[in-house]
A and B are shown apart, each in its own frame.
Chain A
Amino acid sequence: GAGVSQSPSNKVTEKGKDVELRCDPISGHTALYWYRQSLGQGLEFLIYFQGNSAPDKSGLPSDRFSAERTGGSVSTLTIQRTQQEDSAVYLCASSPFLGYEQYFGPGTRLTVT
């Protein structure tokens, strides 16, 4: 079946602009996660959604970051007023339930100039 997809695969934006990153999880997966990975670094947790529960936003680095998950499926990560330090690969993953193995998308490489 189809895996996790993310769009766009690459995004170059100017400092101060807003960007939206999209994630389509595997159908039926109740948990969805966003991570950020800077060059050569590990994964930095941003936010996760589990079913209809309130999302865990504890990893969002500032109030410029927000995410939503509509209808328990597609998720959008929004970064407002982008800064150069926001440049990274943003990875989305889904899993059948929280705590199970996660299936990752290919990521969106964001470059803020």
Chain B
Amino acid sequence: SQQGEEDPQALSIQEGENATMNCSYKTSINNLQWYRQNSGRGLVHLILIRSNEREKHSGRLRVTLDTSKKSSSLLITASRAADTASYFCATDALRGGGSEKLVFGKGMKLTVNP
């Protein structure tokens, strides 16, 4: 069953604008991760945020995590045409005090128009 749900499902913006994607999940987690997928092939890991962290940055990426609302957001600043891809959030559900397998959302398609 899906754990993470990305919102919106599709987003189209102009180059230079910021893009914000949201992810909601259902159960307690160890960590939440964001991935990017180009051309329907392998995914690329973007960033991992742990359950005790609230915000994390990596280059033009900013991720926030609100465990009370069971939600996360991914912000891409100063977007580029090369950011066009599908973005997935994935949660590592906390079970029995240990990590579990990642459960991926359905993904969100971002289109950045030049």
Q: A42-B2, A99-B30 are in contact. Are A104 and B43 (CB under 8 A)?
A: yes
Check: A98 CB closer than 8 A to any chain B CB: yes
Number of residues from A at the complex interface, CB < 8 A = 25
Question: Shortest Cβ distance from A5 into chain B, in angstroms?
Answer: 10
Give the secondary structure class of B's interface.
strand
Judge whether B77 is part of the interface by a CB distance below 8 angstroms. no
* Interfacial residues, chain B to chain A (CB-CB below 8 A): 2, 30-31, 33, 35, 40-45, 48, 88, 92, 98-107
Contacts of B45 in A (CB 8 A): 101-103
Nearest first, the 5 A-B pairs at minimum CB distance are: A99-B99, A104-B42, A42-B106, A43-B104, A101-B45
Note all chain A residues with C-beta closer than 8 A to B88.
42-43
Query: How many Å lie between the Cα of A80 and that of B84 in the bound state?
Result: 37
Known contacts A99-B92, A106-B42; A42 and B104 CB within 8 A of each other:
yes
- Bound-state CA distance A42–B106 (Å) is 4
Residues of A within 8 A of B92 (CB): 99
Q: Evaluate whether A42 and B105 lie within 8 angstroms (CB atoms) in the complex, with A101-B48, A103-B45, A107-B42 already known.
A: yes
Q: A20-37 toward B: CB 8 Å interface, digit per residue (1/0)?
A: 000000000000010101
Q: Does chain B have a CB within 8 A of A56?
A: yes
Cβ distance B42 to chain A, nearest Cβ, rounded Å: 4
